Structure formats: C-alpha cells, structure tokens
C-alpha cells in the first residue's frame, strides 16, 4: 500500500452547468485523491466530465454557467472551494498549474514568449524583471527548447505546436507548483512530438517533484506515464486504482470496453471489440447505472439502481454491481 500522503483530495464534488435548457450535471459526485509526487491519470471520453473536474479544481469556471455546487477540494488539507476569488487566484499558477490541450490558443499571440513567462512569475513572486527573466531562460532550457536566448524575444506564431506546448509546460512549472494539471497536453500533437513531450514531462516530474494530474482519452499515454488511474464516465468515477490493477485486473465493464476497443499495433484481428451505442445525451440520462444501456453484462438491477463503489483491495475500486461480494 502506498503510504505517501494525499496532496489533493476531491471529495464528493458536484459541478453543474446552469443552461437555458436546464441543469447539466457535468460532474456528479466525484472523489479523487492525488498522492504527493505521483502521476494520476483521469481517463474518459468526451462528456465524461474529466475536463470540468480539472477546471473546478483550478477555479476556472467563472465566466461560464458552471458552478461547484457541492463537495470539497482539499489542497494540503485546506478546502479551497471556500476561498475568495482573490485567494484562489494566488493558488492558481503558484500551487496548482494547468496546461491545456490547445497549445495554439493558450498563449497570447501578441506578447513575446519571454514576457508571458516573466509576467506569470511576477504575478506570484516578488522578483525583479531581471531575476524573472533569468528564471524564464533557465526553465525554458530545462524543457529542451533550442536557442532559448533568442526564443524569449519571439512571438508564439514563430514556434511549432510542440515547441508551444513546451513553452506552456515551462510557464506552468516556473513557480514550482505542487500540482500540475495537464488537460490532454499531447492530443493536438503528432506521435513523434507526443513522444518528446511525454518524455519531457516524466523527466521534469522527477526533477521538480511536482504531482501531476494527466487528463487524457488515450490509454496508451496513461499506461506509459501514470501511477494511478481514475476512469470517468458521465460525470462519475467508475473505476480507480493503480495503473497495473486498472490494466491488469480491469473490473468495470466500461474500462474493459475501452481497453478492448483500441486497435493494438502488430495484433491483427478481424473485428475490434467495441462498446455499442453512444455516450448518453445529458438530456436523457439513464436512471440506474449510467453505463447500463451500453453494458454487455447489464441486468435489471443495473437499470434501476446505481451502484456505489466496491473495494477490490490495494485501493482498487469499481462502481459496478458485478464487483459486489
């Protein structure tokens, strides 16, 4: 059993969006723990609530109709949902940083790259411009970018997608955050560039000691980078555990379906296993287990009653009636 303490605990969090067409329960009762110095993967398809979970933790829901309506987010034991906007802002970028999927749009196009990072530093730390610039150059060098001294005075459009993502990572890590949330950081990148970025993140994690939450739909990336995995479906966590249990002793039919539906290199099958049907429209959410309509093992009970978590040992939990002992 892993004895490292939890740096971040999300307890029974509900994030709802209040739209003209009614309430969309994007995250509906999620419990997630992140251990110090580890990498946690949140896996799910579109609409699973994985990105909304990240935005809720970051406190970046303002400006949308979304709101954390219930639950706690404990950062080193302190509930940050109770904090004022100003206090949340101080945490953001300093203790928790985030990198986004789209490296093209996350940087300000009319500001020099160096200035953007300097600004991020000076927002949280009492540093002179020169000191901040020195820090910027140092962190950019760590990300393996070429000709850093010239690059700090360039604009984002002069960089490629992979280079921009490196700049984003540098910006996120410059204040030595406790937690780095990476929302699909490699999805927009090519495989060979993705390999570079994953390599970089693994390397920096060791060097800086940041805990990482890695949000992705790519199970291959999860297997290569994460220690712990949380699988989300329709705003709920359906299975969690360490990476070996999730891939080796898969307990939830959804996780099983996901794993089976990816084509594997060098394995030639006539037909891929697949999960039938579609992710339910939030307007027509099923009553019992949210996965029941697509589940090959679904029984009458699954359609009526939503299962809770069942413990499978070693922190491996699954929200499926089949795991009930």
Partner 1 sequence: MAKEKVLNERTDINTPFKDFVRKFKKQKTALVAMCFIIFLVILSFISYQIAPYGINEYDYMSILQGPSAAHWFGTDEFGRDLFSRIICGTRISLSVGLFSVSIAAICGTILGLLGGYYGGLLDSAIMRVCDVLFAFPGIILAIAIIAILGSGMTNVVIAVAVFSTPTFARLVRSTTLATKGNVFVQAARNIGASDARILFRHILPSAIPNIIVQYTMSIGTSILTASSLSFLGMGAQPPTPEWGLLLSNGRTYMMTSWHTTLFPGLAIFLTVLAFNLLGDGLRDALDPKLSD
Partner 2 sequence: MAEDLLKVEGLKQYYPVSGGLMEKKIFVKAVDGVDFEVKKGEVFGIVGESGCGKSTLGKSICKLIEPTEGKIILDGEEIQDYDSKQMRKIRKKVQMVFQDPYASLNPRMSIHDILAEPLIIHGLAKDKKEIDEKVIRLLREVGMDDYHANRYPHEFSGGQRQRIGIARALAVGPELIVADEPVSALDVSIQSQVLNLMSKLKKEYNFTYIFIAHDLSVVEHISDRIGVMYLGNFVEEASKEHLYKNPMHPYTQALLSAVPIPDPTVKKERIILEGNIPSAINPPTGCKFHTRCPKCMEICKREAPKKYQVGDDHFVYCHLYDQENPEVNGAAKKIEDKKAEAQEA
Site residues, partner 2 (CB under 8 A): 45-46, 160-163, 190-196, 198-199, 217-224, 243-244, 247-248, 257-266, 268-276, 278-279, 281
Nearer to partner 2, 37 or 144 (CB): 144
Least separation in angstroms between residue 306's CB and partner 1 is: 16
Q: Which does 258 bind (CB under 5 to 8 A by kind): partner 1, partner 2, none?
A: partner 2
**DSSP, residue by residue, 224-289:** HH-SEEEEEETTEEEEEEEHHHHHHS--SHHHHHHHHHS--TT---SS-----S-PPPGGG--SS-
Q: Are 153 and 93 within 8 A, CB to CB?
A: no
Give the DSSP letter of residue 92. Answer: B
Cα–Cα separations (whole angstroms), residue 144 to 12, 207, 224: 39, 14, 20
Distance of CA 101 to the CA centre of its chain: 10
* Residue nearer to partner 1 on the CB measure, 134 or 285: 285
Is 19 one of the binding residues for partner 1 (CB under 8 A)? yes
325 binds partner 1 (CB under 8 A): no
Query: In the complex, what is the shortest distance from the CB of residue 294 to partner 1, in angstroms, rounded to a whole number?
Result: 15
Backbone angles phi, psi at 165, to 5 degrees: -65, -35
Residue 295 binds: one of partner 1, partner 2, none (C-beta under 5 to 8 A by kind): none
Considering only the stretches 18-26, 178-186, 256-264, 311-319, report the one whose residues sit in contact with partner 1 under the rule CB under 8 A.
Answer: 18-26
Q: What is the CA radius of gyration of the chain?
A: 21
Site string for partner 1, 223-262 (x = CB under 8 A): ----------------------------------------
Compute the least distance from the CB of residue 292 to partner 1, in Å. Answer: 16
Nearest to 293 by CA among 257, 259, 262: 257
Tell me 82's DSSP state.
G
Instruction: Give yes or no for residue 22 binding partner 1 (CB under 8 A).
Output: yes
For residues 22 and 248, which CB has a smaller minimum distance to partner 1 in the complex? 22
């Amino acid at each position: 059993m892993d004895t490292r303490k939890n740096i971040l605990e999300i307890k029974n969090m509900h994030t709802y969006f209040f739209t003209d067409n009614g309430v969309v329960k994007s995250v509906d009762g999620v419990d997630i723990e992140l251990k110090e110095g580890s990498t946690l993967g949140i896996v799910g398809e579109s609409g699973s609530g994985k990105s909304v979970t990240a935005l809720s933790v970051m406190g970046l829901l303002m400006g949308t109709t979304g709101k954390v309506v219930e639950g706690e987010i404990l950062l080193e034991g302190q509930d940050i949902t109770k904090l004022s906007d100003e206090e949340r802002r101080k945490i953001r970028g300093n203790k928790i940083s985030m990198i986004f999927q789209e490296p093209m749009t996350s940087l300000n196009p009319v500001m020099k790259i160096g200035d953007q990072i300097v600004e991020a530093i000076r927002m949280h730390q009492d540093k002179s411009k020169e000191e901040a610039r020195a820090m910027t150059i140092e962190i950019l060098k760590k990300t393996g970018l070429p000709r850093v001294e010239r690059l700090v005075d360039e604009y984002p459009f002069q960089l490629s997608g992979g280079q921009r993502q490196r700049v984003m990572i540098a910006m996120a890590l410059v204040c030595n955050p406790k937690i780095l949330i990476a929302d699909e950081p490699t999805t927009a990148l090519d495989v060979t560039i993705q390999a570079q970025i994953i390599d970089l993140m693994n390397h920096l994690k060791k060097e800086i000691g940041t805990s990482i939450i890695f949000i992705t739909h790519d199970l291959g990336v999860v297997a290569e980078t994460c220690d712990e995995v949380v699988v989300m479906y329709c705003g709920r966590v359906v299975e969690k555990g360490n990476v070996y249990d999730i891939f080796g002793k898969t307990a939830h039919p959804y996780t099983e379906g996901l794993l089976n539906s990816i084509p594997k290199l060098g394995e030639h099958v006539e037909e891929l296993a697949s999960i039938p049907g579609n992710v339910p429209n939030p307007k027509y959410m099923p009553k019992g287990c949210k996965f029941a309509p697509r589940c090959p093992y679904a029984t009458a009970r699954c359609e009526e009653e939503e299962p809770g978590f069942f413990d499978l040992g070693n922190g491996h939990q699954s929200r499926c009636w089949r795991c009930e002992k």
